[in-house]
Amino acid sequence: MAGLVSLAGCTAGSGGTADSGAAARVAEPPPQSAPEQSAPEQPAREQGSAKVGEVDPAARNRQLVRTARVDLRAGDVADALARVKDVGAAQGGFAEREDSSHDRASVTLRVPADRLDAALKAVDGLGVEVTRREVRTEDVTDQVVDVEARLASQRASVDRVRALLERAGSTAEITQVEGELTRRQSELESLQRRYDALKGQVALSTLTISISRAEATAGPVAEDRPDFLTALAGGWGALVDVAALLLAALGAVLPFAVVLGVPGGVWLWLRRKRKAATTG
């Protein structure tokens, strides 16, 4: 039991050196075969032992992630979106995400990395206005090499723990080794997912295209030349407007005329009557 636990701890830290002779015999075979079966680990060892000034072997096969973004302006957004998707399909890619409305749309295309430039050229040839174009390249070679080396080491570690499980004699030993095996397999799966994601980004470039509706340009304004009927209609309309204003003014003045006119009329009648009596 102590030998199994000791070996499990050693394989987690140093890759498999054990104190007990029997446990060491179980742990040794996988590390010897791992370098032969796993090519990705070789660049990692060469990189670690390379002298200063020497060319890194990995530099001969750089792992590049290329992404591009293009903004377009088109009169017909739906038609432009359909043609952009056709470009992606023609280059061996596919639409990963799509979002569209009446006035704008966006689509994320995944195309083979070696076809990204051709896809960009095809988008330029669609006959729509390109308002923005951006291409970025990220070198992830070191990340890929690191994950490959860790994958090889983790696979060997899992194999060693499996060998320990076969030699476990008691229920307690089996339980402890199975727990360690589960943990290391989980780490291995996590590394594998990260590796697959990196390789996927390298193999397929991401091309994001946004499309907005172009504003309609106003044509030249034709010079208006009014004819007789147009002028007559305009004059009649002006006359009607003036008459309406006069009627409105009369309606506003009429109440004052009634209130002030009646007393004034009475005063004038009395004045004339008094004047007639005086002269008579």
Q: What does the alpha-carbon distance between residue 4 and residue 237 come to, in Å, rounded to a whole number? A: 107
For the chain, give percent helix, strand, coil, nearest 5: 65, 15, 20
pLDDT score, position 218:
53
DSSP-assigned letters across all residues of 213-251: EPPPPPPPPPPP---HHHHHHHHHHHHHHHHHHHHHHHH
Q: What does the alpha-carbon distance between residue 280 and residue 276 come to, in Å, rounded to a whole number? A: 6
Q: What does the alpha-carbon distance between residue 41 and residue 192 come to, in Å, rounded to a whole number? A: 14
Share of the chain above pLDDT 70, in %: 74
> CA gyration radius for the chain?
45
Share of the chain above pLDDT 90, in %: 48
In our burial notation (b when 16+ CB lie closer than 10 A, e otherwise), range 223-233 reads: eeeeeeeeeee
Q: Tell whether 164 is covered by a domain.
A: yes
pLDDT score, position 228:
75
Count of structural domains within the chain: 1
Q: Tell whether 280 is covered by a domain.
A: no
Q: What does the alpha-carbon distance between residue 157 and residue 181 come to, in Å, rounded to a whole number? A: 9
Q: Write down the number of H helices and E strands in the chain.
A: 9, 5
pLDDT score, position 33:
36
Q: Tell whether 109 is covered by a domain.
A: yes
User: Could you report the per-residue pLDDT of 25-72, keeping only the tens digit for each?
Assistant: 333 334 333 333 333 444 433 444 444 344 455 455 899 999 999 999
Which CA distances in Å does 132 have to 102, 116, 137, 191? 21, 16, 17, 37
Instruction: Give the structural domain span for 77.
Output: 1-49+59-216
User: Could you report the per-residue pLDDT of 264-273, keeping only the tens digit for each?
Assistant: 777 777 877 7
pLDDT score, position 60:
56
Largest CA distance in the chain: 162
Q: Tell whether 210 is covered by a domain.
A: yes
* pLDDT confidence bin for 140, thresholds 50/70/90: very high
Which CA distances in Å does 280 have to 184, 271, 272? 140, 14, 12
Who wins on pLDDT, 28 or 257? 257
Q: Tell whether 160 is covered by a domain.
A: yes
User: Could you report the per-residue pLDDT of 208-235, keeping only the tens digit for each?
Assistant: 999 999 876 555 555 556 677 777 788 8
- The DSSP letter of residue 59 is G
Q: Tell whether 228 is covered by a domain.
A: no
Q: Tell whether 200 is covered by a domain.
A: yes
Q: What does the alpha-carbon distance between residue 57 and residue 142 come to, in Å, rounded to a whole number? A: 12
User: Could you report the per-residue pLDDT of 72-87, keeping only the tens digit for each?
Assistant: 999 999 999 999 999 9
pLDDT score, position 201:
95
- Would you say 73 and 173 are in contact if contact means Cβ atoms under 8 Å apart? no
How high is the mean pLDDT of the chain? 78
φ and ψ at residue 205, rounded to 5 degrees: -80, 155
73's CB contacts (< 8 A; 6+ apart) are: 128, 129, 131, 211, 212, 213, 214
Structure tokens at 95: 């639409």
Q: What does the alpha-carbon distance between residue 249 and residue 247 come to, in Å, rounded to a whole number? A: 5
- Would you say 147 and 63 are in contact if contact means Cβ atoms under 8 Å apart? no
- Would you say 202 and 144 are in contact if contact means Cβ atoms under 8 Å apart? yes
Beta strands in 6-63 (DSSP E): none
Quickly count: other Cβ atoms within 10 Å of residue 177's Cβ.
Answer: 23
Q: Tell whether 254 is covered by a domain.
A: no
